[in-house]
Amino acid sequence: MRAVQGVLIIGFFAYIVAFLLLPSGEVLFGAFRGEHGLTLKYVDQLFEPRYLHAFRNSIELALATAILGGLFGTVIAYLTLSPRAPTWLRTGVTSFSGVAANFAGVPLAFAFVSTFGTMGLLTVWLRQQGFNLYDTGFSLFSLSGLVLTYLYFQIPLMVIIITPAVRGLRREWREAASNLGATPWQYWRYVGLPILLPALLASMVLLFGNAFAAYATPYALTSGNIALVPIEIGNVLSGNVMSSPQLGQALALGMIGIMAMAMLAYTLLQRHAARWQCR
């Protein structure tokens, strides 16, 4: 009967090799595979204006939502964890964050279309009040709209991942600082922020990767008409643009490169941050 266990374990690793490692390798090496041996032609294509534009948009979008989501998430986590906050607020925010961090993709896109779209309820209501949202240069279907939409899952995600670090800020440190005559600003500048910083950066890096890899939300919002790296890969794959499959692999290679750097930065920062949390 032990054989069954052995077969299942070997099955698991065979599965990982076949459907995770080999496809990843295929993307990494496929990008260099030309008709006659190895080539850099497709990787060079990444530096064409069209794809550079996609990478810049993706990075800007991911950075903006990581920073904004990180700041708002941290402030919300801090305020709800403070001893003055009522318990119902704390449980409410934790539970809602768990749900909202998972509410993304197509349903989120249409929820935002119903609210901020050209016919959305809030847009229409604001217009009746004499304020035209779309006159301000905002559009739900451009980068600014994507930032607004992404924050709906980025902020709750930040609340979830930063909570252990915020909880690690001990009250005694604050009391000790103020007993020694520190102002609240001094406490944050010399004690609170330096302790929180590695965890804060690690979480923001995670948010960055989360936004960078998003495909469903921007696709549903713009019907695939926005220059972002995941959307471009999807366009190559579904044959919407005339290009060789290797270009898709080159784009995916660039994406994996950025995600790998993000995960590495996350791991290093997290190790640093863990010093204050292990108890």
Partner 1 sequence: MKTRLLRIAVPGLLLGLCSLYFLVPLIATGVFSLWDGADRYNLSAYTQLFHDPGFRDSLLLSVRLAVLSVVISLILLVPTVYWIQLRGKRLRPVMEFIAVLPFVVPAIALVEGLTSLYTGPEWLVGSPNFLIVAYIILALPYTYNALDVGMRSLDIRTLSEAAQNLGANWPTLMMRAILPNLIGTLVGATLLTFAIVMGEFTFANVLLFNTFAVYINYIGQTSGTQAAALSLLSFTITWLAMLGILLTGHRSQVQLGGAR
Among 50, 107, 167, 277, binds partner 1 (CB under 8 A): 107
Decide: is 155 part of the binding site for partner 1 (CB under 8 A). Answer: yes
Tell which residue, 175, 200, 172, has the closest CA to residue 77: 200
Q: Which of residues 111-150 bind partner 1 (CB under 8 A)?
A: 111-117, 119-122
Tell which residue, 215, 212, 200, has the closest CA to residue 63: 212
> Quick check: 227 and 48 in contact, CB under 8 A?
no
**How far are the Cα atoms of 79, 139, 162, 200, 224 from residue 72, in angstroms, in the given order?**
11, 22, 11, 12, 29
Decide: is 96 part of the binding site for partner 1 (CB under 8 A). Answer: yes
Among 62, 64, 161, 204, binds partner 1 (CB under 8 A): 161
Question: Which amino acid, one-letter code, is at 186?
Answer: Q
| CB 176, min distance to partner 1, A | 21
| Size of site (CB under 8 A) for partner 1 | 89
Residues 6 or more apart in contact with residue 30 via CB below 8 angstroms: 245, 246, 249
Among 11, 173, 183, 271, binds partner 1 (CB under 8 A): 11
| CB 104, min distance to partner 1, A | 5
What size, in residues, is the chain? 279
| CB 265, min distance to partner 1, A | 12
The enclosing H or E element of 92 equals helix 87-100
For partner 1, the closer of residues 100 and 165 by Cβ is 100
Among 54, 108, 177, 204, binds partner 1 (CB under 8 A): 108
Tell which residue, 120, 114, 122, 112, has the closest CA to residue 144: 112
Decide: is 255 part of the binding site for partner 1 (CB under 8 A). Answer: yes
| CB 235, min distance to partner 1, A | 10
Site string for partner 1, 202-221 (x = CB under 8 A): ----x--xxxxxxxxx-xx-
CA distance 146 to 58: 11
For partner 1, the closer of residues 10 and 194 by Cβ is 10
Tell which residue, 150, 133, 266, 136, has the closest CA to residue 199: 266
Both structure tokens of 269: 């920062």
| CB 19, min distance to partner 1, A | 5
> Quick check: 186 and 107 in contact, CB under 8 A?
no
Q: Which of residues 164-203 bind partner 1 (CB under 8 A)?
A: none
Q: Which of residues 223-252 bind partner 1 (CB under 8 A)?
A: 223, 230, 233-234, 237-238, 245, 248-249, 252
> Quick check: 250 and 45 in contact, CB under 8 A?
yes
Number of Cβ within a 10 Å radius of residue 275: 10
For partner 1, the closer of residues 109 and 227 by Cβ is 109
